[in-house]
Amino acid sequence: MNLQTPRKFKMLLDQANEVAINVLRPISRKYDKAEHQYPKELDMLAALVDGMNEGGDGLNAGAAVGKRGAQDEQNKNGVNMSTALSVIEMCYGDTALLLSMPRQGLGNSAIAAVANEEQLKRFHGIWAAMAITEPDCGSDSAAIRTTAQKDGDEYILNGEKIFVTSGERADAVVVWATLDKKLGRAAIKSFVVPHGTAGMTVERLEHKLGIKASDTAAISFVNCRIPANNLLGNAEIDVAKGFAGVMETFDNTRPLVAAMAVGCAKASLERIKEIFKDDLDPDYATPYLHCSNIAAQIYRMEAEWEAARLLMLKAAWMADNRKPNSKEASISKAKAGRICNEITLKCVELAGPMGYSEVELLEKWARDSKILDIFEGTQQIQQLIIARRELGKSSSELK
C-alpha cells in the first residue's frame, strides 16, 4: 500500500477543496442557523458530482465493496479511495452540507453493497437515505423490530425508524426490517421504499446539537406495501450466513464516516495552527520537550490526526482491493470519531473566547463532530466488533 495520495485523483481533490473553501464554508453558518432549510446551492454541486461519477472515480456514496468496481490488478485505488479522499475535503468545508448532498445518501451505499445487477440499474441515480435505528434499537442493529411480511408480489412493512439522515429530502429510504423475528439477525433484510409510498409517513424532523443543515427524520411505516423486488439482494434467509449480507453495508460506510471525521478535524487543526502560528515551528525542528505547552498540544493532535487518516485510508484501500475489511473499517471509524471529538473540542479550548463564539467556526465544528463518533455504530460498538474479530468470537459469544 502506497501512503501517498494517488496522482490520478489530484484533479478531483483539487476541485473538492475549491468547493469546500469557496462554496460550502461561506454558507456554513447560514444553514447552521436555518435548521432544516434545504441548501439550494447544493443542486449545482450535485450536477457536478454526477458528471464526475459518470466519468469514473468520484465522490460516490455508493462506493463499491469488494465484488463491484474492483479490477484484477494489484494495489488498486478505486472508487472507495477517491470517495474517502473527496469526503475529507468536503467535510473540511462543512460536514452537514456534505450529508445534505443529493444522491450521496448512506442508503446509496446499502444499494451498492447488496443489490443485484437488475436493482443497481433500476435504482441508479436515486437519492437514498438509510433507516436502521428504532426507538428501542440503537447500536444493536440485530434487535430490529420493523417487520416485512410477504403478501404475493409485495412486502408489507410495519414499524418506526428514527434518526434517518436525509429522511425527508431523499427520493427513497433503504429500510432494514426482519422477515421473521424468531430467526433473529439472519432474517433481517433491506428494502427500498420510495417517498410517496402509501403507509410511509415522515413524523417529524429532529432538532440537533450539530449538523443542523442535514435533515434527520423519524419515519413510520403502517401497512406500507412495496414491490417484492425492492428487497435488496437475495430474499432467501440463510441462517448460516446470518447477518453478514446486510452488514456489508457498514464495511462500505464506516471508512467514509471516518473520512468525515478526518476532514472535520482537519478544519479545526488548520485554524488553530493559523491562530498560534507564532508559537509553532513550521519545520518541526524544535524538540518536543522544548516546545511551548500550546505547541506541544497542537503537535500531539496532529500526530493523532495523521494516525486516524492512515487507518481510514487502509480500510478504503482494502475495499478497493477485494480484501475483507470489517475489522479495519471499525478500527478506522473508532479512531477517527474519537480523535475528531478530542481535536475539535481542544481547539475550542485553546482559542478561548474566540473559539467559543460564533465569530469563528471552531464551535460549530466541535458541535458537528460529535455525531461522527455516534452514527454508523458508536465507539463502544466499534470496539466490540474489533474484539470479536481479534478473538475469533461470534456476536453470541462476545456481547
Q: What is the DSSP letter of 172?
A: E
Distance CA(350)–CA(269), nearest Å, equals 11
> Is the Cβ–Cβ distance between 126 and 171 less than 8 Å?
yes
Distance CA(329)–CA(250), nearest Å, equals 8
- Cell numbers linked to 100: 445534505
Establish whether 376 is a catalytic residue. yes
Pairing relationship of beta strands 216-227 and 200-205 according to DSSP bridges:
antiparallel
Residues in the chain, overall count: 399
Q: Provide Rg for the chain, Cα atoms.
A: 21
DSSP string, 324-369: --HHHHHHHHHHHHHHHHHHHHHHHHHHTHHHHSTTSSHHHHHHHH
Distance CA(166)–CA(170), nearest Å, equals 6
End-to-end CA distance of the chain: 34
- Cell numbers linked to 218: 423519524
Kindly list the distances between the CA atom of residue 162 and the CA atoms of 57, 173, 193, 211, 232, in Å, as whole numbers in the listed order: 32, 12, 15, 16, 21
Distance CA(131)–CA(115), nearest Å, equals 16
- Which of 61, 80, 55, 62 is closest to 70 using CA atoms? 80
Q: Determine how many CB atoms are found less than 10 A away from the CB of residue 123.
A: 22
Half-sphere exposure of 206 (CA within 13 A, CB side): 16
Q: Residues 41, 168, 376, 390: which is the catalytic one?
A: 376
Sign of the four-CA dihedral 65, 70, 72, 77: negative
Q: Which amino acid, 190?
A: S
What kind and span of H or E run contains 108?
A: helix 106-114
Q: What is the DSSP letter of 63?
A: -
For the annotated catalytic residues, the residue numbers are 376
